Structure formats: structure tokens, C-alpha cells
Chains A and B, each alone.
Chain A
Amino acid sequence: MTAQLDQVFGALANPTRRAILERLADGPATVHALAAPFTTQTLQSISKHIKVLEHAGLIRRERIAQTRPAVLAPEAWRDAHEWIERYQQSLEERYDRLETVLAETDQKQGEAT
């Protein structure tokens, strides 16, 4: 799971790849269609980015007639989301404890005065 997540976050750490993912959030697209907005990048370069995303499991290639459009792969997103959510849970726990400590010390102060 960890190696997969490294790939996921590595794949996300690039503006072109994030732009490609944003485009794919609207629906499947071919390599040509994905490359169109990137006027300064070659088709080969875009193709390479797509391979990185595919390798990280963030997208899949479908086969429709003669074309192989890319589509988002929701399961990889779910794993990455869970990873962050679990961490958030541990923070939540810590700060809930702090909140309890604050409430308790407040009570003590109230008794003292």
C-alpha cells in the first residue's frame, strides 16, 4: 500500500499531470485531446505523463474502437484519501484530549476562585 501511495503522491507532484487529471475529471479523453491545451509540450511528453499516472493507478486506459482514451481510476483516489483521513483522525484525537484538559483546568480555576 505504501509503495502505491508513494507513486500516487509522486504522480500528483507535477502541474502538467494535475492538469491532465483535472481534464479527466470531466470525462474520458484520448492522448491527442489531452495534449491539445499544452502547446509548449510534445505529444511524447504528454504521453509520458499519462504513463506515470497510469502506473500510479490514478487513471486507466480503455479500448473503444480504434482509440484508447484515458479515464480516472476511482479506487486509487479512495486509498490516498483514506491515508490522509487516518492521519487527520490522530490529530483529532490529540486535540480532543487538549480540549478535555482545557475544560478540566477551567473547572479547577472556577473552584479556586
Chain B
Amino acid sequence: MTNETTLLVPADRPEVHIERRFDAPIERVFDAHVNAELIPRWWGPRRLTTRVDLLEPRHGGRWRFVQTDADGETYPFRGVYHLVDAPRRIIATFEFEDAPGAVQLSDFRFAVDGAGCRLTQTTVFLSVADRDGMVEAGMRDGMRESLDRLEELGAH
């Protein structure tokens, strides 16, 4: 039932490539990326709640999402939209406010794939070290998520 997420992490270039298919029309997959009501329901790991502080999906518009963990610790992220071409493409920067300067530039391309949609994301970083730092943070989330899931299984 689930679609697989493909991830490429080139060793010699500060980039990641991510690809994922969704069983939903392109317009709705695109909308979920620029819809302040939907973003908190999927953006980021489950253990954190996401609040949309600012969302201006247009050329030069800003975005700011704040995540909060169970202890009330907050993790703010922000960036600027450089292209919003519904329903095909979004180009935006991404920065964790607690690590200013480690800016990422992401290119999200949405394409019709049968009855569904294929999302291809290319993110470039300023250095391989920045990229590896982000992958490592993601890795920790992945580990936490699987531990959470194990706990849920145990609870039932």
C-alpha cells in the first residue's frame, strides 16, 4: 500500500535527492505544501507539534514553522520562497534558526504520475559538512520514530 521514498546522498557533492510517489492528484500534493492547515499534520516527525507562524507562498514570500517537543522546547525553521509555480514547482530556502547561516536551497518538482503524483526534491547545502549534519539530525529522528512505533505496537 505504501509508496517508497528514494534517497540519494552523493559522497562528493553537498546535495540530497529525494523522490516519492503519492496516490493523490498533483494539485492536492502541491496544496499540502502551501496550506497552513495541512502543514502541521505532516511536516516533521510525529513527536513534535508544528505551528505555522508565517506562510507566504509567492516569489519573495517568507515562511516560518515552529516545532515544539514534549518538554516545551521549541525548534524554529524559516526560509524564503524563490519560486511558487502551482502545481509544478516550489523553490525555497530552509534554515534552522538555531544554526544561522547553514542555509539549504530546495527545488521541489511535482509531476503527474498516472492517477497520482511524483515529487522530486533536490536540496543543495553550502558544504558536505552541512549536508551531513542535516542527514544526521534526520537519522536521529528516524531512530526515534522507529522507537515510538515499537512502543505503540507494545501498547496494543
Contacts and interface: CB of A to CB of B under 8 A. Distances in A.
Judged by DSSP, the binding face of A is helix
Contact of A84 (B9, B20, B46): B9
A91 B42 CA distance: 11
A13 B128 contact: yes
A98 B5 contact: no
Interface of A: 2, 5-6, 9, 12-15, 18, 83-103, 105-106
Interface of B: 2-5, 7, 9, 11-12, 18, 20, 22-24, 28-29, 32, 38, 41-46, 119, 128-129, 132, 135-136, 138-143, 145-146
Given A2-B136, A94-B42, A103-B24, A87 B32 contact: no
9 contacts: A87-B136, A88-B7, A92-B5, A94-B42, A94-B43, A97-B42, A97-B46, A102-B29, A106-B24
Contact of A5 (B32, B132, B140): B132
A98 B129 CA distance: 29
Given A13-B128, A84-B9, A87-B139, A93 B32 contact: no
Contact of B7 (A2, A14, A15, A91): A91
Contacts of B32: 98, 101-102, 105
Given A84-B135, A86-B143, A89-B146, A9 B23 contact: no
Given A13-B128, A91-B18, 4 more contacts: A2-B136, A83-B135, A85-B142, A90-B139
B154 to A, nearest CB: 18
A92 to B, nearest CB: 5
Q: Which of B3, B135, B142 has the most CB of A within 10 A?
A: B142
